[in-house]
A and B are shown apart, each in its own frame.
Chain A
Amino acid sequence: MSITQYNGSAIVAMTGKNCVVIGCDKRLGQQALTVDMNFEKVFRVKDKLYVGLPGLATDVQTLHDRIRYRVNMYDLEEERAIQPDNLAHMISNMLYQKRFGPYFCEPIIAGLTEKDEPYIMGMDLIGCLSSAPDFIVGGTASDNLYGMCEALWEPDLGPDDLFRSASQALLNAVDRDAMSGWGAVVHVITPEKTETYHLQGRQD
């Protein structure tokens, strides 16, 4: 078993028409033992910009702390809101700095650009960026998520339909993964507002 699978996680980001969705499961485990059922792995960076951190929980938390530090400093020094692609490169750079002793985490960025265009980006644990026009998945349930997303994603979905597709993909993917689950959180990002939904899911 890889150390990235020690705590268990599932994250999905999907693009729609002028909107994006990013969601994660809530489990924190130690191998097969569940320790916390309220452990969120998607974090708000700014309005309309979220980052999902699947992987080893300790690195998820360290990375989140460091991203928050850097983004707050960016805010103060640059006096403008950080853009999704800036954030992606910032995190990628942060990860590559630890090239030979990496954080065991493969971040996923989801947000809307200045022009309210959807933006999603994934990367590996040493910061190699990979973009996709449709969806990006990560975590122990990523294989399941690929299948679900491949089946449910359609181009130009509105926020409601996109929320439905992403939620179904997430819930059904974690149901077949022992390492993730215990409900889910989904953030629906539209130009006007960001809505956060807590999904019940199977509690076993």
Chain B
Amino acid sequence: MGLIRTLSSNIDLSDGFSTRLLKVHTLLLFTFLYVPIGVVVLLSFTPDQVPTFPMPGISLQWYAEILPPNYNEELISALFTSLKIATLSSIGAGVIGTLAAFGMVRHDLHIRWLSTDKLNTAFLLPLVVPWIVTGIAVATLYSLLGIYGTFWSVVLGHILITIPFVVTIVSSQLYGFDRSLEEAAQNLGASEIRTFYEVTFPIVVPGILGGMLFAFTISFDNFTQTFFWTSFGTDTLPVFIYSMIRTGIDPSVNAIGTVIVGFSLTVAVIGEKLSQRVLD
């Protein structure tokens, strides 16, 4: 006891010290999170065919390779496929997921063994099913239905895997929603529909947008399932990059990666700003 007390009395937990400790901790955390991304960005500027450390110099040649006029047409087409699929599936998941969240949060369902709680779990379950299993299962289903490899089947698949994210985000916003706001609107003469678009919708819109943005990045990123669902012509960017590096690492992949990171960060920042403005 005496020793511990002596030791602990040497530790200065005054404000200055703990603030510094917090700063160091935060710095370490962000280093851990961002160093891998930093490596990708760094290596995209390498002049070598095979990246080495320390880099002998700085070069933009890999960016030149992915930009006109030297760009790989298949790469750009894969990028646009990814963007289209991510946009459509985030809209689809946004609509379906929002409706599902409303249904789940706003109605206390009890049909025999089915209850709201169980539904809630059922929506989250696809998240824990191994992605490769979903990938193979859906691919099998699609080939049975004869739609395997088509653009819309990939969109449908991505809606399937992104719905749980939208449901989770929107329903958490709805659980925290103060219902008396809706009652106040009705008390002031707004019908149920009017109340929805004057009060409910504007207040939950940041949640819906956030969910859709999340769905967008999940779809844009997805490799495991998409790998089983696409065929030639519907390759998404991650699937195309995979086929590129199968034959050996091409540093232009790092350049693509850097562009994607920049793009994702921009989307995230816009989303953040957007939802803040809606909230204020």
Partners in one complex: no
A interface, CB within 8 angstroms of B: none
